[in-house]
Amino acid sequence: METISIVIYICILLSTLFSYPLIKKQKKKHERLVKLPPGSMGWPLIGETLQLYSQDPEVFFTAKQKRYGEIFKSHILGCPCVMLASPEAARFVLVSHAHLFRPTYPKSKEKMIGPSALFFHQGSYHSHLRKLVQSSLSPETIRKLAPDIEAIAISALDSWASGQVVNSFHEMKKFSFDVGILSIFGRLDDKYREKLKENYSIVDKGYNSFPTNIPGTPYAKALEARKRLSEIVNEIICEREEKKLLDKDLLGYLMNFKDERGQVLTKDQIADNIIGVLFAAQDTTASLLTWILKYLHDDRILLEAVKAEQKTIYEVNDGGKRPLTWSQTRKMPLTYRVILESFRMASIISFTFREAVVDVEYKGYLIPKGWKVMPLFRNIHHNPEFFPDPQNFDPSRFKVAPKPNTFMPFGKGEHSCPGNELAKLETLILIHHLLTKFKWEVVGSQNGIQYGPFPVPQRGLPAKFWKESKHDV
Ligand code: HEM
Ligand SMILES: *[C@@H]1O[C@H](CO)[C@@H](O)[C@H](O)[C@H]1NC(C)=O
């Protein structure tokens, strides 16, 4: 007994002796780190949420940046956060120290999209899925989709050209949805496409509404529709398994995947990732396309120049009798610069969220564990230091490549957008057909921005489209 208590005693003594300097060191480290970034945390609980959401978010962020500089703290949506408005800081969070920050979304959104979708994950699960999604959206794969995308674009444009006023954003959403379906399922049977479309639009309506399980509310209806989406995806999987189809689209890649231990993906993992990609593809691309309509409409001289570039290709293709080729889509320099400048101006993904997984030090400031971290893409894209006269729409600025990390429409690092080539391809194809065969007029004065949550011109940019007749030219 005696010996045991002596041993215990010595152990305690030794451990205090050894841990004392350690504790001291930790304290010291903390003292060095306690300096939080400048900024204000607003009211208790609600923080500055109202200030951010009751005005144009650009005004909120710009005022903060003016007052505090490139890094500042705030408190929004119930979370303390650090906002970062410099290219170096964005790179620190998204690329060089990405392992210290994990993706984070509100639980209600995660549940709606599907918890196994790749954007919520890190590590090996994320990198496995990301490889599959990337290969299904790589230039080598999507170039084969060009003729089908062209068919979708032509039929969309024809459907608008009735002389009726259409909501441009809604029409663009139908287009980007169909292209999304094509890249995920290849040529999908109409019966499945319709069911997916109807149910997805219910999810879409409830996605930004108040999360509650009370039956009949938009959120609850959306969750029900989301369940049906999984069932439809499962039906498609079963049909492919029965018919032993080996398609090389995203669904095919997901169905054939095995990890190092021979583990395949579950049906839920597949469905969550498919709905996730569809979700990531639709509103983003539709919002970009709507902005392009507006920017071109507002600048007649630019419009004529882009039209001339497209008409040259149209003539080479025998007045549009032959399809647009992949290599032609690579040779539209002015149109391409218009797309880049639209990405910059509209900055559809204005910022993103991460969460610090440990205490992190950045340039002498502490980013405490558990705090949200927000790289502010829009502020970087609108900083006159990197883009002179930033409020001016000027595609020619992209004749020179932007400075590193100053242009991030698709994010950066391991979670950056795998759909970027597809988004650009479908945009080039739609613009080609729009400018060579159609005219459009925006209805009403349209200078406001609507956030839903992506910035879109007010009321979805109502417009009239019609086919250009021969004598118009
Ligand atoms: C104008 C069009 C688009 C824009 C501006 C855009 C932008 C972005 C951005 C900024 C991210 C990174 C978000 C973050 O780091 O938190 C992202 C991720 C993603 N995007 Fe896109 N995107 C577009 C179109 C598409 C399309 C067409 C697809 C698929 C067909 C797609 C699929 C994805 C996926 C799956 C991710 C998650 C990647 C990951 O977490 O590893 N996006 N997108
Ligand atoms: C949704 O999907 C189901 C199949 O699960 C289908 O029967 C239904 O027609 C679709 N549309 C709506 C609006 O529910």
Hey, whose CA ends up nearest to atom 10 of ligand 2? Answer: 195
What's the CATH code of the domain at 307? 1.10.630.10
> Which residues, listed in sequence order, are joined to residue 372 by a DSSP beta bridge?
81, 355
With a 6 Å cutoff on the Cβ, whether 199 touches ligand 2 is: yes
Q: Quick check: is 133 in a domain?
A: yes
* Residues, the chain: 473
Distance 387 CA to ligand 1 centre (A): 23
**Contact residues for 38 (Cβ-Cβ < 8 A; gap 6+):** 68, 69, 71, 72, 73
Distance 64 CA to ligand 1 centre (A): 27
417 annotated as a binding-site residue: yes
Q: What is the pLDDT of residue 447?
A: 80
Distance of alpha carbon 225 from alpha carbon 217, whole angstroms: 12
With a 6 Å cutoff on the Cβ, whether 201 touches ligand 1 is: no
**Contact residues for 78 (Cβ-Cβ < 8 A; gap 6+):** 45, 46, 47, 49
With a 6 Å cutoff on the Cβ, whether 411 touches ligand 1 is: yes
Q: Quick check: is 203 in a domain?
A: no
Distance 152 CA to ligand 2 centre (A): 23
Q: What is the pLDDT of residue 259?
A: 93
Hey, whose CA ends up nearest to atom 11 of ligand 1? Answer: 417
Specify the ligand 1 atom closest to the Cα of 288: 1
With a 6 Å cutoff on the Cβ, whether 232 touches ligand 2 is: yes
Hey, whose CA ends up nearest to atom 39 of ligand 1? Answer: 415
Distance 460 CA to ligand 1 centre (A): 21
Q: Quick check: is 333 in a domain?
A: yes
Distance of alpha carbon 150 from alpha carbon 419, whole angstroms: 18
Distance 280 CA to ligand 1 centre (A): 6
Hey, whose CA ends up nearest to atom 6 of ligand 2? Answer: 195
With a 6 Å cutoff on the Cβ, whether 418 touches ligand 1 is: yes
Domain span at residue 406?
Answer: 28-186+247-472
Q: What is the pLDDT along the chain (473 residues), one digit of tens a residue?
A: 344 443 333 333 334 334 444 444 444 455 555 799 999 888 877 788 877 776 777 888 888 999 999 999 999 888 899 999 999 999 999 999 999 999 999 899 999 999 999 999 999 999 999 999 999 999 999 999 999 999 999 999 999 998 899 999 999 999 999 999 999 999 999 999 999 999 999 999 999 889 898 999 999 999 999 999 999 999 999 999 998 877 889 999 999 999 999 999 999 999 999 999 999 999 999 999 999 999 999 999 999 999 999 999 999 999 999 999 999 999 999 999 999 999 999 999 999 999 999 999 999 999 999 999 999 999 999 999 999 999 999 999 999 999 999 999 999 999 999 999 999 999 999 999 999 999 999 998 768 888 877 899 999 999 999 998 765 54
Q: Quick check: is 235 in a domain?
A: no
With a 6 Å cutoff on the Cβ, whether 137 touches ligand 1 is: yes
Give me the number of domains the chain comprises: 1
Distance of alpha carbon 181 from alpha carbon 193, whole angstroms: 8
With a 6 Å cutoff on the Cβ, whether 416 touches ligand 1 is: yes
Q: Quick check: is 432 in a domain?
A: yes
Specify the ligand 1 atom closest to the Cα of 126: 41
Q: What is the pLDDT of residue 126?
A: 97
Distance of alpha carbon 18 from alpha carbon 13, whole angstroms: 9
Hey, whose CA ends up nearest to atom 9 of ligand 1? Answer: 410
With a 6 Å cutoff on the Cβ, whether 228 touches ligand 2 is: yes
Q: Quick check: is 230 in a domain?
A: no
Q: What is the pLDDT of residue 446?
A: 67
Q: Which residue type sits at 286?
A: A
Distance 423 CA to ligand 1 centre (A): 9
Specify the ligand 2 atom closest to the Cα of 235: 5
Q: Quick check: is 397 in a domain?
A: yes
Hey, whose CA ends up nearest to atom 37 of ligand 1? Answer: 119
With a 6 Å cutoff on the Cβ, whether 193 touches ligand 2 is: no
Hey, whose CA ends up nearest to atom 8 of ligand 2? Answer: 195
Specify the ligand 1 atom closest to the Cα of 130: 41
Give the number of whichever ligand sits closest to the CA of residue 231: 2
* Total Cβ atoms within 10 A of residue 210: 10
DSSP per position, 434-455: HHHHEEEEE-S----EEESSSE
Q: Quick check: is 22 in a domain?
A: no
If we measure between CA atoms, which residue out of 338, 329, 367 comes closest to residue 93? 367
With a 6 Å cutoff on the Cβ, whether 130 touches ligand 1 is: yes
